[in-house]
Structure 1
C-alpha cells in the first residue's frame, strides 16, 4: 500500500555500489566524481501538506528540492544540471524519480526494505545501489 510518509526522517548512507560509474555516465566531472565517491551523505525527507522536501547533506555539498507527487518540476542538480523531474509513488510504496535533460533520461527508485532506504539509480544500463539507515 502506498504510504509516502514511510520515507520521512533522516537517513545516513551505509552502503554504496557502482556510484563512480553511475556518476561517469551522468557526465559528472572527474573532480566531482572523486568528491562524490568519498561523501557519506545524509538524506532528510520532510513534508508540508502535499509537498515533500528532500535535503541531501555531506561535508562537501548540500542540496535540496521539493515536489508534489505526480507533478513535474525543474530540479537543480549538485553537478549543475537542470532536469525536468517527475516523482511518483506506486502501490508497492516505490518512490520513482524520472529525470530528463538534454535528451537524456535517468531513473532513481527508492523503497524501504527491512527498515532501510534502498536507492537504485539507473541510466543507460549503468546501475548504482545506495542503502541508507534511519538516524
Structure 2
C-alpha cells in the first residue's frame, strides 16, 4: 500500500500561506491564547517514510516539535498541538491526496493534504468551517 505514494512527496515543506486558520481553530475548540500563538508561527513540516511501513508527519515551530506516526488505513491515537488526544485514520486517495479523518468526541475533522511535488495544500474542515494552508517544499 505504501508503494503507491510517490517518493517525491516525502520531504520538508514550510508554511507559505494560510486562510481562515483562526476560525478553524476556534471551531475545533482551541482556546484564545493557543489560537493567537498558533497564528504567529510558520511551521516547517516533514513527511517521512520509515522502514516499518509507517509514515511520519513532523511539525517544527519555534515553540514545539511534534511527531505523528501512523500506518495508512489504521486508526491511531493522536495528540494534537493544542494538547487534546483524538482518534485519527489516514488514507491515500486519488494518487495525490492523504485524507485524515480525526474524531474529537462527536466532531469529525478532515484534513485533506494534496501533493503536487513542490507544494502541499492542506484543506482542514470542521463542521462548515474550512481552512486552507499551503506549504512550499524547502531544500534539504
TM-score (norm 2): 0.90
Deviations 1:52-79 (A, max 9, x none): 1111011122211101001100001111
Cα offset for 1:86?
Answer: 0.3
**Cα-Cα RMSD:** 1.3
Deviates more, 1:33-42 or 1:108-117: 108-117
**Structure 1 spans left out of the alignment, 5+ residues:** none
Pair 1:97-2:100 in alignment: yes
Q: Could you tell me the TM-score, scaled by structure 1's length?
A: 0.94
1:132 aligns with 2:135: yes
Q: Number of paired residues?
A: 134
Q: Label 1:56 to 1:103 Cα distance change in 2 as closer, same or farther (>3 A).
A: same
SS at match of 2:78: strand
Give matches, 1:1-135, under 5 Å: 2-49=4-51, 50-113=53-116, 115-135=118-138
